[in-house]
Chains A and B, each alone.
Chain A
Amino acid sequence: MSIIKGSAWAYGANIDTDALAPIGSYSGADNIEAGAVHCLRDMDPGFAKGVKEGDIFVATDNLGIGSSREAAPLFLRTLGIRCVVAKSFARIFYRNCFNIGLPALVCPNAAEIAKGDTLAIDTSTGEIVDETQGTTFRCQPIPDHLMSIVDEGGLMPYLEKKLAKSA
């Protein structure tokens, strides 16, 4: 069982990949750290400056709509985000999160989580304890085939292991 505990950054619906990773912020690049400071610059300039290691990103509907660019979840992870919670996800962004080692949880009540709430998330059961509100939110459990990627820390370590086995 692994518990991720941190402070919530709560937003609304339809946060797109152009908001998370504006093109100019990574077009040249190989430097994810330099690009990550532009994450959500047009929507909430305080986010990239304020986010701390271990924080949790919360949104409502359709998080990550738009491009397949992996910089979107990579910027969040680089800034310190350790788990993403949303009422619903755009499909490529959802897969990208797991692939880069960032667990993504589908939480029907995501809109009830407020900015700054302290959350303790059990990724194995999908339970979120909102310590600030004194409430518990239930998420859809992460499917087994994705949990095995989460357990390895992302698709790259998962592939390394798989390829080593088959070699």
Chain B
Amino acid sequence: MAQTLAEKIIANAAGLDSVAPGEIVTCQVDLAMMHDSAGPRMAGRKLDELGVPVWDLDKLVVITDHYINDDNPEHNGVQKHAYDWVMSHGIKNFIKEQGICHIVLPEGGHVKPGMFIVGGDSHSVTGGAFGTIMVGIGATEMTGVLATGEIWVRVPETVKVDITGNLKPGVSAKDVILKLCGDHGIMGFNYQALEYGGEAVSAMSVEERMTLANMAAELGAKAGYCEPDEKTEAVLTKWGATGIDIQTWRSDPDASYAKTVTVSGDALSPQVAAPSSPENAAPVEAHQGTKLDQAYLGACTGAKLDDLRMAAQVLKGRKVQSGFKFMISPSSLSMQEEARADGTLQILEDAGGVILPMGCSGCIGIGPARLEENAVGISSTNRNFVGRAGPKSSKLFLASPYTVAASAIKGAIADPREFL
């Protein structure tokens, strides 16, 4: 039976020849990832309550990224507990404060096409960029996985997202995904799997595909993925993965999809999502000139190496508005080092940007990038719900790294195409 990649991976994990949308199956997970917020202190403690060991120490990766790099005593307590738990349970794969889990998991060579992966975080869907099905789960659910290596899955319908043509200068994957949020809403694809493809996706870097997969969460989707290709293989090989198969793990040509939705890459302009939902996306013109108090490049979504380079392209030889707060929290330490080595960070600093420690911080209202009372910000992150990045009175616009950088120059929402 012809199947989509989502169906193939789920069938394989369930030990079946094929599966159909709507069917409920039990999958053996190939890999589980959990972070300091929902990992050791929640799922870890519950596993200890059950009194059983981790089902397979080779298949678990623990990453600390949420409550790091600050001096809050409660957060330090979370870190101490995570470290003690990792040590006392013989965890083989522990990535301590190297960056955000969705980035450092693949960077650690743990991810390859065809895997069925669970992650204790809603943006775990990012792993789909590498031709996997990676789904987000909660802490008790993770406890079940840690204890048994199994999880029930309702096979999702697959939706083909065809991104046609070529993205124009100053337009990026973030604009594509915001456009999808605007067109379909934050529950537009609830329970479904999104297969991103088309000419524009083939042309995209793997990091850009990670942005598409990451924000499948903001479309309500269970998973968002790209079929793997030579670019996927090259990046994963560089990151140390072995046994990468980009031939098997593709959708069958005659597979059936619930529907196809299209974004015209040629016609797409930079998008900005107004407070307080990603679905409030509109072309940048709709908000141009809106005064801002700060701009932030950060999170798993918007401060990867490519994101930092996009911002640098706009800011090279320019300055952010005098006194304007422009903060950058790179997605991972290795990307930060690469951006340091190639001069990207220098351009951002020369323009007036301040490099903050890496981690989830600003995206979840922690640290210097937390919005103040009544402040208005723009950010390359993924969510702008009330109370997430600052107090109720604050407001957050979401945009691409290009648009965030352009807005920092003007101290107001700006069209990056003016600077490219």
Taking beta carbons and an 8 Å cutoff, which residues of A are in contact with B? Answer: 14, 16, 18-19, 22-24, 27-30, 42-43, 61-62, 65-70, 88, 90-92, 95-96, 99-100, 143, 145, 154-156, 159-160, 162-163
Residue in B75, B124, B139, B392 whose Cβ sees the most chain A Cβ within 10 Å: B139
A156's partner among B121, B138, B140, B187 (CB-CB below 8 A) is B140
Residue in A68, A88, A100, A160 whose Cβ sees the most chain B Cβ within 10 Å: A68
Taking beta carbons and an 8 Å cutoff, which residues of B are in contact with A? Answer: 24, 37-38, 41-42, 46, 49-50, 52, 67, 72, 74-75, 77-78, 120-122, 124, 136-141, 143-144, 147-148, 152, 186-187, 190-191, 220, 222, 277, 364-366, 383, 385-388, 392
Asked if A65 contacts B186 (CB within 8 A), the reply is: yes
Residues from chain B with a CB closer than 8 A to the CB of A96 are 138, 140-141
Asked if B139 contacts A28 (CB within 8 A), the reply is: no
Nearest CB on B from A22, distance (A): 5
Query: What 8 new A-B contacts, CB under 8 Å, besides A19-B386, A70-B140, A155-B144?
Result: A27-B72, A29-B78, A66-B383, A68-B137, A91-B222, A99-B140, A156-B140, A162-B148
B74's partner among A27, A90, A163 (CB-CB below 8 A) is A27
Nearest CB on A from B44, distance (A): 12
Supposing A28-B77, A68-B122, A69-B37 touch, asked if A92 and B137 sit within 8 A by C-beta, the answer is: yes
Asked if B74 contacts A61 (CB within 8 A), the reply is: no
Asked if A159 contacts B277 (CB within 8 A), the reply is: no
Nearest CB on A from B80, distance (A): 12
How far is A18 from B75 in the complex, measured between Cα atoms in Å?
Answer: 19
Asked if B122 contacts A66 (CB within 8 A), the reply is: yes
Asked if B186 contacts A14 (CB within 8 A), the reply is: yes
How far is A100 from B144 in the complex, measured between Cα atoms in Å?
Answer: 12
Nearest CB on A from B20, distance (A): 16
A70's partner among B74, B75, B139 (CB-CB below 8 A) is B139
Supposing A68-B137, A155-B144 touch, asked if A91 and B50 sit within 8 A by C-beta, the answer is: no
Residues from chain A with a CB closer than 8 A to the CB of B383 are 18, 66
Asked if A68 contacts B138 (CB within 8 A), the reply is: yes
19 residue pairs A–B, Cβ–Cβ below 8 Å: A16-B385, A19-B386, A19-B387, A27-B72, A27-B78, A28-B72, A28-B78, A29-B41, A29-B74, A61-B187, A65-B220, A67-B122, A68-B136, A69-B38, A69-B138, A155-B140, A159-B50, A159-B148, A163-B52
Counted as pairs of residues, one from A and one from B, with CB atoms less than 8 Å apart, the total is 116
Asked if A88 contacts B190 (CB within 8 A), the reply is: yes
Task: Across the A-B interface, give the 5 residue pairs with the lowest CB-CB distance, nearest first.
Answer: A28-B74, A99-B140, A96-B138, A62-B187, A70-B138
How far is A43 from B392 in the complex, measured between Cα atoms in Å?
Answer: 9
Residues from chain B with a CB closer than 8 A to the CB of A16 are 385
How far is A92 from B139 in the complex, measured between Cα atoms in Å?
Answer: 10
How far is A18 from B388 in the complex, measured between Cα atoms in Å?
Answer: 6
Nearest CB on B from A38, distance (A): 9
Asked if A159 contacts B385 (CB within 8 A), the reply is: no
Write the chain B residue with the least CB distance to A30: B41
Asked if B38 contacts A68 (CB within 8 A), the reply is: yes
Write the chain A residue with the least CB distance to B139: A70
Write the chain B residue with the least CB distance to A29: B74
Asked if B385 contacts A92 (CB within 8 A), the reply is: no
Nearest CB on B from A101, distance (A): 9
How far is A107 from B41 in the complex, measured between Cα atoms in Å?
Answer: 34
How far is A73 from B136 in the complex, measured between Cα atoms in Å?
Answer: 16
Asked if A155 contacts B187 (CB within 8 A), the reply is: no
Write the chain A residue with the least CB distance to B220: A90
B75's partner among A28, A65, A154, A156 (CB-CB below 8 A) is A28
Residues from chain A with a CB closer than 8 A to the CB of B277 are 14
How far is A163 from B146 in the complex, measured between Cα atoms in Å?
Answer: 12
Asked if B38 contacts A91 (CB within 8 A), the reply is: no
Nearest CB on A from B82, distance (A): 13
Residues from chain A with a CB closer than 8 A to the CB of B143 are 155-156, 159
Residues from chain A with a CB closer than 8 A to the CB of B187 are 14, 61-62, 65, 88, 90
Residue in A43, A99, A145 whose Cβ sees the most chain B Cβ within 10 Å: A99
Asked if A156 contacts B72 (CB within 8 A), the reply is: no
Nearest CB on A from B360, distance (A): 10
Write the chain B residue with the least CB distance to A90: B220
How far is A23 from B387 in the complex, measured between Cα atoms in Å?
Answer: 8
Asked if A154 contacts B38 (CB within 8 A), the reply is: no
Write the chain B residue with the least CB distance to A24: B365
Write the chain B residue with the least CB distance to A16: B385
